Structure 1
Amino acid sequence: MLDYRVRSFLAVCSLGSYTRAAAELHITQPAITQHIRALEAHYGCALFERSGRAMRLTPAGELAQRRLTVAANDEGRLRRELAARADEGERRTLRLGCTRTIADYLAPRLLAHITRTGGQGSVAMRVGNTAELTAALDAGALDLALVEGSFDRSRFDAEVLSRESYIAVARAGVRPAALDELLDRELVVREEGSGTREILERLLGSHDVSLGDFAGLIELGSIPVIKAVVEEGDAVTFIYRIAVENELASGALVDVTPPDLALEHDFTGIWERGSIYGDELRALVVQWREHLCPHGAVG
């Protein structure tokens, strides 16, 4: 069970004041003060410092917040696991987050595998961009996230799920010899915050090109809508090959990736660094990778 003084500390971190933390926990402000002092005495360092009227974490306090938040989230997982075991031996629900491409094109295969093997209890899946899913991991709302975008490796442990080709597609046309030959087209991109867009911006930036250098820019949050817009117009989009395999096979879209823009990118399973469930979650991602890539190669 998480120590009550730790709960007080995390409440102060979250709410920014002793007064608000006391109200949240239904205890007195002097009690909060006592709990923080006890933790500081136990760890032998100050956890908060004041700057004028504002209160902020010390560097030691920031580290304590990260580590103790993981412990608090793990306690919630343990509580749910024990409750599930008490209920006729059922396993706990895996709270899984997926970015959009993974949710639409890989998750169905993974969920079907789970159903066939019975290796995991129930799964509750949430879809969001990488930033939303990492925030949900921090808040203890997810156990595991499968993401496309970059993440803070000091906060999350990771295991590669698959390696995917990232390509440019258009309705038709001659395959361009270089990126410059695509710039006279409209570019269709995902919304800000999506891993797909982040990767594109980094890729273009490595060639001293920005999104604004294309003839026009259309931002859309739906992969099917993006594909439909490109199929109907003279636009181009950058997308994972797995998301357009059917359209490429039918000829509705063609691969127009310039040779100097060829890229492969990892889809990655991530979870809170330091979690007591880390080994279990890593083994699960490895199992899924072996299902997706049965011959041993990633991707």
Structure 2
Amino acid sequence: MLDTRLHTFLVLCETMNYTRAAERLCITQPAVTHHIHFLEEHYGSRLFSYEGKTLRLTEAGLRLRELARSLAYNSNKIEECMSSPAAVSLRVGATKTIGEYVIAPQVQRFLHMHPDARFSLLVENTQLLLCELEGGRLDFALVEGFFDQDKYAAKMYRREAFLGVCAPSHRFAGRAVPLEELLKERLLVREAGSGTRAVFEQALHRRSRTLHSFSNLACISDFSMIKTLVRDGVGVSFLYAAVVEHELAAGTLAQFTLEGENLSGAFHFVCLKDNQFAGAWSEWME
């Protein structure tokens, strides 16, 4: 059972506002202040400070938040297991590439093995999934792209080729395209926060370029729309091989490469540090 004062601390970390924390907890604002002061005296460190009117976590507060998140997650899972020990419960997060194109066989296998399981799958971009993980609302997440691995327990799931795609009749088809030529083309990219976008942005950074280097850029969050627009010659894009596997085989899309780059991205299994249940769920992905 998580200490009430640590729960108050975590809610304040999410809201960064004493009044909103009190409203969420259904207690008074002085009670929130009292809980934080108790923790600061107990640990001998200031946990929050103000910069002007903005509430900030101190270094000690950041460390306690990381530790308390794992403690809260483990506490909630223990409560869940003790209240219904026979039931299996799993809340998975996956980025769009992984959730829509990669893990259907694993989900199917899990549901066949546990017909009475309580299961949920949230498909979202990397940044949102990590926020949900930190809030204890996911058991683990499968993410692509870049994230701070020091903040989480992470395990490589697999590495995936990252391809340039265009219409079969496009002049890029089957070529290694110089960056300067690519910059003149309309580029279709995913939204900020997506792992797919982050992998391509990292490749640009290696060339001292950004997405702003493109004179014609379209941001689209839906894979089906991107592939349709690419197929119809509206622009080009960069996507993981799993996303365009069927279209490339059918000949409705063509592949190209960025000259001088062999692009790929890593898919990671991610959970909170010190997650006492991580071993069981990591086996789910074997």
TM-score, scaled relative to structure 1: 0.83
Residue 253 of structure 1 aligns with an amino acid whose one-letter code is L
Larger CA deviation: 45-54 vs 182-191: 45-54
Match of 2:104 in 1: 108
1:66 to partner: Cα distance: 2.0
Which residue of 86, 91, 96 corresponds with 2:88? 91
SS state at 1:133 partner? helix
Match of 2:147 in 1: 151
1:202 to partner: Cα distance: 1.1
Residue 186 of structure 2 aligns with an amino acid whose one-letter code is E
Distance 2:46 2:94 in 1: 38
Match of 1:260 in 2: 260
1:98 to partner: Cα distance: 0.9
Count of residues in correspondence between the two structures: 282
Asked if structure 1 preserves the Cα contact closer than 8 Å seen for 2:106 and 2:284, the reply is: no
Asked if structure 2 preserves the Cα contact closer than 8 Å seen for 1:162 and 1:266, the reply is: yes
Greater than 6 Å deviation, 4+ residue runs: none
Match of 1:46 in 2: 46
TM-score, scaled relative to structure 2: 0.87
Asked if structure 2 preserves the Cα contact closer than 8 Å seen for 1:49 and 1:56, the reply is: yes
Call closer, same or farther: CA 1:57–1:187 in 2, change over 3 Å.
closer
1:26 to partner: Cα distance: 4.1
1:77 to partner: Cα distance: 2.3
Match of 1:176 in 2: 175
Larger CA deviation: 208-217 vs 247-256: 208-217
SS state at 2:64 partner? helix
1:231 to partner: Cα distance: 0.7
Residue 239 of structure 2 aligns with an amino acid whose one-letter code is I
Match of 2:233 in 1: 233
1:224 to partner: Cα distance: 1.1
Match of 1:68 in 2: 68
Call closer, same or farther: CA 1:5–1:210 in 2, change over 3 Å.
closer
CA RMSD of aligned residues (A): 2.6
Identity of aligned residues (%): 34
Show structure 2 runs of 5+ residues with no match.
Answer: none
1:115 to partner: Cα distance: 3.2
1:250 to partner: Cα distance: 1.4
Call closer, same or farther: CA 1:120–1:217 in 2, change over 3 Å.
farther
Distance 1:64 1:271 in 2: 17
1:17 to partner: Cα distance: 5.1
1:219 to partner: Cα distance: 1.7
The 5-angstrom pairing of residues 236-247 of structure 1 reads 236-247=236-247
Asked if structure 2 preserves the Cα contact closer than 8 Å seen for 1:96 and 1:145, the reply is: yes
Distance 1:205 1:57 in 2: 31
1:152-175 deviations in Å (ceiling 9; x for gaps): 222211111111000101112453
Distance 1:51 1:183 in 2: 42
1:20 to partner: Cα distance: 5.0
Residue 195 of structure 1 aligns with an amino acid whose one-letter code is G
1:18 to partner: Cα distance: 5.0
Show structure 1 runs of 5+ residues with no match.
Answer: 288-299
Larger CA deviation: 146-155 vs 53-62: 53-62
1:236-276 deviations in Å (ceiling 9; x for gaps): 11011111111111111111113522212111111112222
Match of 1:163 in 2: 159
Call closer, same or farther: CA 1:24–1:239 in 2, change over 3 Å.
closer
Residue 42 of structure 2 aligns with an amino acid whose one-letter code is H
Distance 1:22 1:213 in 2: 46
